């Protein structure tokens, strides 16, 4: 059976499929973890320890020695994404309480959901799109998107925008696995090679545990429509600045910027991880997880379509004109 090949055909499938399986368990057999106990209980409910190991491995995989072009592309996209999420979080904090909106169509929307859905790019989706629509340097620009992974940047944004205050030891405790992994991976290339595969390996495990916190009955509530609205907002609010940054700073066609306007599959883990160290977000964590999961699904479908259309209209057109300019016969002035 080609199970892995089938999962790979789904955008973000390595995260989304185990997440859905876990959510099915939570929805239809919610008592399973307590019934089986032991290791089964651990793998179904151990989001935080599994996420901690994944965060360490992600830190170990990051290598900042890259070419100037790749580094410029990476830095431009990552910084633009984070600054945009920070600006949107500040504006949202003027209208939305920490515990989230409780009534009306926007019930369930929270600052936690907004920042988690906007500050992380789906690096795998971006890389695959750039393999098709971009240059080799643009495809390699996902090298720094790993910095966005995990709750680190979400916590920085929430703290910088004044929405949350994290005690120093709590903040250090949240980022320490990442920093230790980063240090070890850069001090010894063999350690990087040893730990880096763990980042990919741990994804289905924490996705399954995370799914066991999601009751799919919530999708029958206004959260489904709200999740779609949030996903479209993510693409619009981050996509436009990313396109402009790619064109004017990264010296691209805007295609790479639009390809980076998705929500990473791993972002669905951020609300629960942040709520674990900042209890004021606990009331919003479950609905935020559902909303971010919907954003992952919607952006994984819509962003590739928009990127292809943008490339055909702007990226491909520029490439064809450049090629025509190079092959056109040159006129020689008459004597």
The model's pLDDT over 250-273, given as tens digits with 9 standing for 90+, comes to 888 999 999 999 988 778 888 988
Average pLDDT over residues 306-326: 67
- The pLDDT of residue 54: 79
Cβ–Cβ under 8 Å, residues 129 and 304: yes
Place of tokens 């090629």: 323
Q: What is the pLDDT of residues 127-164, one digit of tens each?
A: 767 877 887 667 666 656 666 666 778 888 888 888 87
Tokens of 276: 């674990």
The answer to whether residue 328 scores a pLDDT higher than 50 is: no
The residue among 175 and 40 whose pLDDT is bigger is 40
Average pLDDT over residues 75-104: 92
Least confident of 12-16, 68-72, 106-110, 329-333: 329-333
Q: Mean of the per-residue pLDDT values for the chain?
A: 81
Looking at the whole model, is its pTM more than 0.85?
no
Please state, in angstroms and rounded to a whole number, the distance separating the CA atoms of residues 239 and 303.
9
Q: How far apart are the first and last CA of the chain?
A: 74
Please state, in angstroms and rounded to a whole number, the distance separating the CA atoms of residues 27 and 217.
7
């Amino acid at each position: 059976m080609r199970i892995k090949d089938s999962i790979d055909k789904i955008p973000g499938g390595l995260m989304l499929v185990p997440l859905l399986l876990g959510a099915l368990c939570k929805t239809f057999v919610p008592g399973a973890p307590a019934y089986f106990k032991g290791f089964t209980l651990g793998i179904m409910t151990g989001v935080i320890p599994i996420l901690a190991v994944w965060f360490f491995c992600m830190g170990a995989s990051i290598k900042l020695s890259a070419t100037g072009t790749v580094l410029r592309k990476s830095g431009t996209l990552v910084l633009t994404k984070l600054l945009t999420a920070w600006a949107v979080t500040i504006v949202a904090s003027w209208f939305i309480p920490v515990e989230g909106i409780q009534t009306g169509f926007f019930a369930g929307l929270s600052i936690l959901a907004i920042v988690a859905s906007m500050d992380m790019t789906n690096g795998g989706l971006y890389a695959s799109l750039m393999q098709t629509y971009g240059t080799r340097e643009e495809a390699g620009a996902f090298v720094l998107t790993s910095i966005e992974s995990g709750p680190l940047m979400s916590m920085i944004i929430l703290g910088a925008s004044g929405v949350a205050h994290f005690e120093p030891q709590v903040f250090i405790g949240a980022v320490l696995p990442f920093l230790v992994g980063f240090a070890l991976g850069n001090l010894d290339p063999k350690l990087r090679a040893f730990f880096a595969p763990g980042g990919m390996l741990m994804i289905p495990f924490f996705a399954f545990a995370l799914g066991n916190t999601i009751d799919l009955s919530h999708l029958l509530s206004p959260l489904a429509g709200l999740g779609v609205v949030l996903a479209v907002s993510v693409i619009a609010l981050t996509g436009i600045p990313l396109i402009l940054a790619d064109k004017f700073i990264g010296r691209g066609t805007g295609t790479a910027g639009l390809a980076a306007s998705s929500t990473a599959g791993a972002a669905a883990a951020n609300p629960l991880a942040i709520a674990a160290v900042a209890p004021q977000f606990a009331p919003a964590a479950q609905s935020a997880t559902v909303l971010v999961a919907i954003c992952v699904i919607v952006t994984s479908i819509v962003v590739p379509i928009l990127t292809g259309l943008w490339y055909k209209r702007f990226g491909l057109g520029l490439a064809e004109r450049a090629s025509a300019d190079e092959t056109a016969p040159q006129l020689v002035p008459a004597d």
